[in-house]
Amino acid sequence: MTTSSLSFPVERSTSPATEAERRRVLADPGFGKHFTDHMVLATWTRDAGWHDAKVVPYGPFTLDPSTAVFHYGQEIFEGMKAYRHADGSVWTFRPEQNAARFARSAHRLGLPELPEADFLESIRAMVDVDQVWVPEHGGESSLYLRPFMIGTESGLGVRPSMHVTYCVIASPAGAYFAGGIKPVSLWVTPQYTRAAPGGTGAAKCGGNYAASLAAQLEAQSQGCDQVVFLDAVERRYIEELGGMNLFFVRRDGTVMTPQLSGSILEGVTRSSILEVARELGHEVEERRISLDEWREGVGSGEITEVFACGTAAVVTPVGRLAWLDGEVVGSSEPGEVTMTIRNQLLDIQTGRAEDTHGWLHRL
Ligand code: PMP
């Protein structure tokens, strides 16, 4: 790996959270509600490239109301976690995968790529300055890291911004299933799609999430937790959820997931599960999976487990699948394969299992 060309000098906060305040937050962090004392910033301009990288006190941006991101949504982001191991050291999971996806997203959104070495250095600088915010080892708590990039040129012309801001913020995250693992229910939206061929579905850009919200409201009005999106052309094949990839386990133990279509996000958790499942002795298939195959498979018992996966929840069992005029209900208990894969992945991330893949990156 090349070394970072950027250095991130630290301007320390003069009013960080007190130890008591921090302890209170870390005792019950929830998700995405509390932020650490600092953030990373860097600027790109067309003339000077990346420059002015730094760590500064966490705080608001002041932006002209005509700034590009407010009008045309030129924005990308990433999500990753830092875990504390038993010896107190802090590690991230496959951060180079997030760096590579961030670069792919940047390319798709007409934003400048941040070199992998600079991305990794920004993460190191962020966690280094706020390492007291990384929860203790044990359980599933972590420090969630949110790098993002926005077009910050002012003016209403529709074109790639010539002034861009990169930022990393960090938020302590508790166990996703604090009250025990609970299967989610999913709604197959009849009217909305998430991403079309040639669109931005494979990029992690804010617009994809904005476009998923009406469908999310629809799901909630149907008593479901999350939305399943189908392909935009035939409206037949499973793509993914609004923020997670999907997996299916067949009766013979085969683990399968929708192939990368160009319109779904290539999850880091998804790629890791494909490898872990293979090592656990499962046949693995990446192919097109239709909604009919899912419905009929659960109904007939051919599909024994369904789960969703992503950085935030790691692995989430799926209980119920509902559509306009029907539903199939799987087991109310998380399946055995689901839990074995979930535990194996979490054990690697938290240092309880050996990292035979070299997936962990010490900060
Ligand atoms: N699909 C979408 C649309 C997502 O937002 C996410 C979360 N980043 C995922 C899948 C899962 O990706 P990862 O495993 O890298 O978190």
**Tens digit of pLDDT per residue, the chain (363 long)?**
567 889 999 999 999 999 999 999 999 999 899 999 999 999 999 999 999 999 999 999 999 999 999 999 999 999 999 999 999 999 999 999 999 999 999 999 999 999 999 999 999 999 999 999 999 987 889 999 999 999 999 999 999 999 999 999 999 998 776 667 889 999 999 999 999 999 999 999 999 999 999 999 999 999 999 999 999 999 999 999 999 999 999 999 999 999 998 999 999 999 999 999 999 999 999 999 999 999 999 999 999 999 999 999 899 999 999 999 999 998 778 899 999 999 999 999 998 899 999 999 998
- Beta strands 38-45; 326-329: pairing state: unpaired
CA of 243 to the centre of ligand 1 (A): 5
Ligand 1, closest atom to CA 242? Answer: 3
Torsion of CA 82, 87, 88, 89, to 10 degrees: -50
> Which of ligand 1's atoms lies nearest the C-alpha of 271?
14
Distance CA 102, CA 114 (A): 8
Instruction: Scan for tokens 């044990």, then name that residue.
Output: 138
Atom of ligand 1 nearest to the CA of 312: 16
- In 3-state terms, what secondary structure has residue 79? coil
Within the chain, strands assigned E span 38-45, 49-57, 75-77, 80-84, 90-93, 142-151, 163-173, 184-188, 226-230, 238-241, 245-250, 255-258, 284-287, 303-310, 314-323, 326-329, 360-362
Rounded Cα distance, 107 and 203, in Å: 9
Q: For the whole model, what pTM was predicted?
A: 0.95
Distance from residue 310's CA to the centre of ligand 1 (Å): 5
What is the CA(156)–ligand 1 centre distance, in A?
31
Quick one: pLDDT at residue 339?
94
Structure confidence at residue 321 (pLDDT): 94
What would the two tokens of residue 196 be?
């079309």
Which residue has the CA at smallest separation from atom 7 of ligand 1? 243
* Binding pocket residue ranges, ligand 1, CB within 6 Å: 79, 240, 243-245, 265, 267-270, 310-311
What is the DSSP annotation of 172-186?
EE--TTTTS---EEE
pLDDT at residue number 307: 96
Ligand 1 atom 3: the closest Cα is on which residue?
A: 243
Name the one residue in this structure whose structure tokens are 């932020």.
35
pLDDT reported for residue 1 = 55
Phi, psi of 213 (to 5 degrees): -75, -35
